[in-house]
Amino acid sequence: MHNIGIIVNHSKDIEFELTKSIINWIEKNNANPMLTKQTSAVLGHNINGYNVEEVYEKSDFVIVLGGDGTILQVAREIANFETPILGINLGHVGFLAEVDVKDIYKSLDIVLKGEAIIEERMMLEASIIKDNVKKEFYALNDIIITRNTISRILTMDAYINEDLVMTVNGDGLIVATPTGSTAYSLSAGGPIVYPNLSVITLTPICPHSFSNRSIVLSDNEVISIRLLKNSGDAYLTIDGQECYKIEENEDITVKKACFKTKLIKLPGRGFYDVLREKLKER
C-alpha cells in the first residue's frame, strides 16, 4: 500500500484540518498521499495534484472523507478502476462509511498492515435508448423512477425478462442493490438485504394498490420499465444524486453492472453491528 488517494468533501472538512492530519500521517508512514488538483490548490500543500481519474487509477486505495453521499459519488466514478474505498464518516447516517473520526489512524494502520477486508458490492446499470442513442447510468444504491413534486401519479409497467410482473400506479418505483436496501428502499417498505447477496429488489413508492409489493429478484434478471400514456412528469434518479427526465417514448432497462464497488472493511465489525448501530436497535 504505497499510493493512497484522498478524496475530501470540502463542505464537510471545512478547514481541512483532518485532511492535513491524514496527509501527515501517511507521509510519516512512508506512503505517498495523492490529492486531486482542486484539493491540492486549496491546501497550498507541497504535494502534486492529479486529475481525479489519475487518483483513482494510480492509488492502491482511496480514502473518502465525507458522508454516504460522497462515497456514492466516488463509487460511481471509481468502479471501473477496481480501486478499493475506505470511507471516513463526516456525515450523519454512515452506512457506507466504515470509519469514525476517532478511529482513523488505528484503522489506517490496520489497512496498511494488510489486515483489512475488501468487500465487493454489486452495482446497477440503467440504460435508456431514444432515437438509436443509448444513455447509460450506474448506481451503487438504487435506480429510481419517480414523479416531480406536483405531477399526477405515475403509471408504469415493469417487466422481468420481458414478462409483465406489475403495473404500478403511484409515486414511482425503486430498483435497489443489497447495499441500497437500507436507503430509500427501506423507507418505502422494502426489505433489508445482506449486502453480499446476489439479488435485486423492486419496490413501488406509495402504490395506489395493496397488490403492489416488493419483489426480490436474482441478479441475473433484466428489468424493463415502460411509462404508460398520460403519466405525469417522470424522472430517473441515480443514487439520489443524478437526475434525467424521462419522455413517454423512452423505455428504461436495469440490470447488474459489469463491475463492482470495492469497500474496505475492518475486522470485527460486521453488517449486523452496523445495522444495530444505525437503526438504533440495541
Strand extents, DSSP E, the chain: 3-8, 32-36, 49-50, 61-66, 85-89, 117-121, 124-130, 133-139, 142-147, 154-160, 163-170, 172-176, 199-205, 215-218, 223-227, 234-238, 242-246, 251-256, 261-265
- Residue 131 burial by Cβ neighbours in a 10 Å radius (0-12, 13-18, 19+): exposed
104 in the Ramachandran plot: left (φ > 0), alpha (ψ -120 to 50) or beta? alpha
Residue with cell 440503467: 126
Question: Active-site residue numbers?
Answer: 68
DSSP 232: -
Query: Helix, strand or coil for residue 220?
Result: coil
Among 119, 106, 69, 62, smallest CA distance to 89 is for: 69
Q: How far does Cα 274 stand from its chain's mean position?
A: 17
- Residue 267 burial by Cβ neighbours in a 10 Å radius (0-12, 13-18, 19+): exposed
Q: What's residue 151's pLDDT?
A: 63
For residues 143 and 164, what is the distance between their CA atoms, to the nearest angstrom? 19
pLDDT tens by residue, the chain, 282 residues: 689 999 999 999 888 999 999 999 999 999 999 999 999 988 876 677 899 999 999 999 999 999 999 999 999 999 999 999 999 999 776 789 889 999 999 999 999 999 999 999 999 999 998 777 889 999 999 999 998 766 678 889 999 998 999 999 889 999 999 999 999 999 999 999 999 999 999 999 988 876 778 999 999 999 999 988 766 688 999 999 999 998 877 889 999 999 999 999 999 877 888 788 777 643
